[in-house]
Amino acid sequence: MKRIVIFASGSGSNAENLIRFFQNSDLGSVTQVLTNNPHAKVLDRCKRLDIPAFSFNRQAFSKSENVLNLLKIAQPDLIVLAGFLWKFPEFILKEFENKVINIHPALLPKYGGKGMYGMHVHNAVVENKESETGITIHYVNENYDEGAIIFQAKCSILPSDSAEDVASKIHQLEFEHFPKVVEKLLGTEALEVPLKY
């Protein structure tokens, strides 16, 4: 069985969706969830779903090797960032090359970069009167939202859509596609090679 470790900072609805999907898979499972926010709702979800979950601070994450050592023990085949807001340290990425992926709630390279997360993205998309938006699943590199793109899916925006409406359309796309893309990556022999779907 392949091992998936999820990083999440907030609500964790994508984390829960991934956990549930892989509870019915014989390919892999979510073995633990890590968060930078000790009050994140994702911790309640993990408790309910009986998945080990831990919170860490900046010291443990990027100023020491505590989280890295935890990951070395966990031996993940894939590290999945699902609504994780801190920049991933380069020294951890180096140990898990092409094994760290992120989901972004827009069609990168549009609406990416520092400060572009969650509702900030949807507000900007609506303010700019975009007629479509979507999701991007990509490898994580040292720059925010710039790693190789693995998968994108689009949805249209009506002139009457609020940022909340867009957020809900994006979550639907995420729930539908994210587990399938993770499953495809886990089923690929050479995870070292960035793949496009």
* Closest residue to ligand GAR: CB criterion: 83
Give Rg (Cα) of the chain: 16
Residues in the chain: 197
Q: Does 105 contact ligand GAR by CB under 6 A? A: yes
Q: If binding is defined by CB under 6 A, does position 117 make contact with ligand GAR?
A: yes
Which tokens belong to 21?
Answer: 């999907």
The neighbour count for residue 45, using CB atoms within 10 Å, is 21
How far apart CA 158 and CA 162 sit, in angstroms, is 9
Of the candidate residues 103, 137, 173, 182, the single one contacting ligand GAR (CB under 6 A): 103
104 is catalytic: yes
Q: Which residues share a beta bridge with 134?
A: 154
123 binds ligand GAR (CB under 6 A): no
Total interface residues for ligand GAR by CB under 6 A: 16
**Residue positions annotated with a catalytic role:** 104
Residues that bind ligand GAR (CB under 6 A): 8, 10-14, 82-83, 103-105, 117-118, 121, 170, 174
